[in-house]
Amino acid sequence: MKLLRIGPKGHEKPAILDAQGVARDLSGLVDDLAGDVLSDEGQRKLAALDLSTLPALPDDRIGPCVGHVGKFICVGLNYADHAKETGKAPPDEPILFMKATTAINGPNDDIEIPRTSQKADWEVELGVVIGKRAKYIAEAEALDHVAGYCLVNDVSERSFQSERGGQWTKGKSHDTFGPIGPWLVTRDEVADPQNLGLWLDVDGVRRQTGNTNTMIFGVAFLVSYISQFMTLEPGDIIATGTPPGVGMGIKPEPVFLREGQVITLGIDGLGSQRQTTIAAGA
């Protein structure tokens, strides 16, 4: 299934795509795409619906594909060639950091360039959405705790991230820095999360091309690993790292985002996003 949320910010309705690509309104049946709705049982109930009986939603703004996200967990330097372009050695264990949930944005919403920003950057990533509580789980069981997958742009401000002291979170958490969606694609429709092509363009120029098969740490390992340090709850999102081609890695001179640019990105089977960069508001 392809699940999505449609409507104005803060007032999105849960929806499901039918075979013709029409978004059908689920708001009469579930409050949101969150909590128990993401569980295996919740998904079975949605899969059993006769979608032709559900109202079609208008072609409106697509919001973030998951509601009420508790944790937005990110994995750093999870592609060896990306680590190389940043001048760092591939990690021996996953590097984890948090992205503020206030950064979560719709897939086609504008991205703000923060005030005093010098090095705003892009990162196409596979997002993993948790569907069942996970604590101290084995790698062999990890994918049973996954509701599905989504496209993430882990937008970053490199000077905030690396030159302002402390951890990476301050460079990752500006409002609008976490577009997710357009869809939450349930795990039964993703045959192998370790064989998905990723791409990203800026103003029509291809900047990133990669495949999840080159991850250092795969999805199952990451879910198991993270569950050793914190309990994962339904609706939590894990952004699994980015392939090479980020702005900070471009030679001979890095290239960073400025106002008025267009970013497009996608992952096989998970849809695409399109964002325009704008000046930060109040």
Q: In terms of domains, do 271 and 219 share one?
A: yes
The closest alpha carbon to 155, from 189, 107, 197, 203, belongs to: 107
Identify whether the C-beta of residue 159 lies closer than 8 Å to the C-beta of residue 171: yes
Q: In this structure, are strands 178-179 and 95-98 parallel, antiparallel, or unpaired?
A: unpaired
Q: Which domain holds residue 32?
A: 2-53
Q: In terms of domains, do 94 and 14 share one?
A: no
Q: In terms of domains, do 120 and 15 share one?
A: no
265 domain residue, yes or no: yes
Residue 144, judged by CB atoms within 10 A of its CB (0-12, 13-18, 19+), counts as middle
Chain-centroid distance of CA 23 in Å reads 21
Q: What is the pLDDT along the chain (282 residues), one digit of tens a residue?
A: 999 999 999 999 999 999 999 999 999 999 999 999 999 999 999 999 999 999 999 999 999 999 999 999 999 999 988 888 888 888 999 999 999 999 999 999 999 999 999 999 999 999 999 999 999 999 999 999 999 999 999 999 999 999 998 889 999 999 999 999 999 999 999 999 999 999 999 999 999 999 999 999 999 999 999 999 999 999 999 999 999 999 999 999 999 999 999 999 999 999 999 999 999 987
61 domain residue, yes or no: no
Q: In terms of domains, do 135 and 216 share one?
A: yes
Strand partners, 187: none
The closest alpha carbon to 121, from 280, 265, 249, 268, belongs to: 249
Helix (H) or strand (E) holding 204: none
Q: In terms of domains, do 228 and 119 share one?
A: yes
Q: In terms of domains, do 246 and 157 share one?
A: yes
Residue 108, judged by CB atoms within 10 A of its CB (0-12, 13-18, 19+), counts as middle
Using only C-alpha atoms, what is the Rg of the chain? 18
Q: In terms of domains, do 11 and 104 share one?
A: no
Q: Please give the model's pTM, rounded to 2 decimal places.
A: 0.97
**Domain count within the chain:** 2
Retrieve residue 75's tokens.
Answer: 């994995």
Distance (Å, rounded) from C-alpha 78 to C-alpha 198?
14
Q: In terms of domains, do 88 and 177 share one?
A: yes
Number of H helices, E strands in the chain: 5, 18
192 domain residue, yes or no: yes
The closest alpha carbon to 31, from 270, 235, 273, belongs to: 235
Distance (Å, rounded) from C-alpha 175 to C-alpha 192?
32
Q: In terms of domains, do 97 and 183 share one?
A: yes
Q: How far apart are the first and last CA of the chain?
A: 38
Q: What is the CATH number of the domain that holds 246?
A: 3.90.850.10
Distance (Å, rounded) from C-alpha 168 to C-alpha 171?
6
66 domain residue, yes or no: no
Q: In terms of domains, do 216 and 274 share one?
A: yes
268 domain residue, yes or no: yes
